[in-house]
């Protein structure tokens, strides 16, 4: 993977700091190694399950990563995104493209056989998101566990998820409301280095119409490529890489694309055109004489922070028997 601004020794040192630091910023009762005694094979079972599904379908990696994000931003990281049924979070418009539910269900089935009633679906999802990044060439991090599953899942609650037309100010506010900084925003959106989006979420940027004009932040030389991928009036569900040229590898090319005007989503491209977030993009790229931050290391740190949003621990919530239904 691409590493900017650090030698190998420094990188290894930073990785160790992530692992050590994770135990210092958990909050609310989660901790690294929560299942060490109650279900010592928990993390290895999840890892093996994710790897097995990934080998059959690499698209589950970005799907699981995105699912964890969408779970944490609604009702906290409590597995509420996993519930089946009419009117649940899973049915919300912004969650329609998520995938990887079968991976979580598979891991849960195996864990129930090994350690009945011990490992939460919320923790399975948090671990699976980390394992997905590693499988796509990202660095690992220590995942704090001990979450319990929520008992509420409503599509209406997903209405305030970060959106593809959000201004940077709106994005920063939504992240701030969850205790996340502007750097966390840029870092976590960098997860778009893997995966795809649908034409319907950005094709309005590509054409002059009665209600819109071509987005001037798009590199003019890149515009014909996007127009060929998403023809005007074409299939809005067609999937397009969020990181042009590198959708399967967890690297910094997503940020390079923003610099070139090749951001696919309007909200992503704005991270480069807005001065308050451009600084962090530049640091991940190591340009303009600024100290380069190692994106993959910072990503792990921000994921630990995000994974503790509104978690339920202790006697709160439940440990589901199956991840798609409340007990």
* Mean residue pLDDT across the chain: 91
Angstrom distance (rounded) from CA 312 to CA 299: 23
Give me the percent of the chain exceeding a pLDDT of 70.
Answer: 89
Calculate mean pLDDT across residues 242-253.
95
Buried b (16+ CB within 10 A) or exposed e, 158-187: beebbbbebebeebbebbeebebebbbbbb
Partners of 163 in the beta sheet?
Answer: none
Let me know if 70 is a catalytic residue.
Answer: yes
Q: What is the dihedral of CA 74, 77, 83, 85, to 10 degrees?
A: -10
What residue ranges in the chain does DSSP mark as E strands? Answer: 31-32, 144-145, 196-198, 239-241
At 19 the pLDDT is 42
What residue ranges in 38-190 does DSSP mark as E strands? Answer: 144-145
Partners of 149 in the beta sheet?
Answer: 318
At 168 the pLDDT is 98
The one catalytic residue in 53, 68, 70, 262 is 70
pLDDT at 14 over 60: no
pLDDT at 2 over 60: no
Calculate mean pLDDT across residues 16-30.
48
Angstrom distance (rounded) from CA 77 to CA 120: 11
pTM of the model: 0.90
pLDDT band at 27, cuts 50/70/90?
Answer: very low
Residue 267: CB atoms within 10 A of its CB come to 21
Q: What is the pLDDT of residues 137-157, one digit of tens each?
A: 999 999 999 999 999 999 999
Nearest to 37 by CA among 110, 117, 128, 115: 115
* DSSP secondary structure letter of residue 77: S
Which domains can be identified in the chain, with CATH numbers?
Answer: 26-159 (1.10.520.10), 168-302 (1.10.420.10)
Buried b (16+ CB within 10 A) or exposed e, 53-87: bbeeebbbbbbbbbbbbbbbbbbbbbbbbbbeeee
Q: What is the pLDDT of residues 254-284, one digit of tens each?
A: 999 999 999 999 999 999 999 999 999 999 9
Nearest to 325 by CA among 124, 121, 106: 121
At 29 the pLDDT is 81
């Amino acid at each position: 993977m691409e590493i900017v601004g650090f030698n190998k020794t420094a990188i290894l040192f930073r990785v160790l700091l992530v692992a050590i630091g994770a135990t210092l910023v958990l909050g609310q009762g989660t901790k690294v190694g929560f299942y060490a005694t109650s279900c010592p094979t928990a993390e290895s079972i999840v890892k093996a399950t994710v790897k097995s599904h990934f080998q059959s379908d690499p698209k589950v990696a970005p799907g699981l990563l995105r699912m964890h994000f969408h779970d944490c931003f609604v009702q906290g990281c409590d597995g509420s995104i996993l519930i089946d049924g009419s009117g649940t979070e899973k049915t919300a418009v912004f969650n329609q493209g998520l995938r990887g539910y079968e991976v979580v269900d598979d891991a849960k089935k195996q864990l129930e056989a090994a350690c009945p009633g011990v490992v939460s679906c919320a923790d399975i999802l948090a671990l699976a998101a980390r394992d997905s990044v590693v499988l796509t060439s990202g660095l690992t991090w220590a995942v704090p566990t001990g979450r319990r599953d929520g008992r509420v899942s409503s599509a209406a609650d997903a209405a305030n998820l970060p959106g593809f037309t959000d201004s940077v100010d709106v994005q920063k506010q939504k992240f701030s409301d969850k205790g996340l900084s502007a750097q966390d925003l840029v870092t976590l959106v960098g997860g778009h280095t893997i995966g795809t989006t649908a034409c319907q979420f950005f094709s309005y940027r590509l054409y002059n119409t009665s209600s819109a004009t071509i987005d001037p932040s798009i590199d003019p030389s890149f515009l014909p490529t996007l127009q060929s991928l998403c023809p005007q009036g074409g299939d809005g569900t067609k999937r397009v890489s969020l990181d042009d040229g590198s959708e399967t590898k967890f690297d910094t090319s997503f940020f390079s694309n923003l610099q070139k005007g090749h951001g696919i989503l309007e909200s992503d491209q704005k991270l480069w055109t807005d001065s308050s977030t451009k600084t962090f993009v530049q640091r991940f790229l190591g340009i303009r004489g600024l100290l380069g931050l190692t994106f993959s290391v910072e990503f792990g740190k921000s994921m630990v922070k995000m994974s503790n949003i509104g978690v339920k621990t202790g006697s709160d919530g439940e440990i589901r028997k199956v991840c798609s239904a409340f007990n």
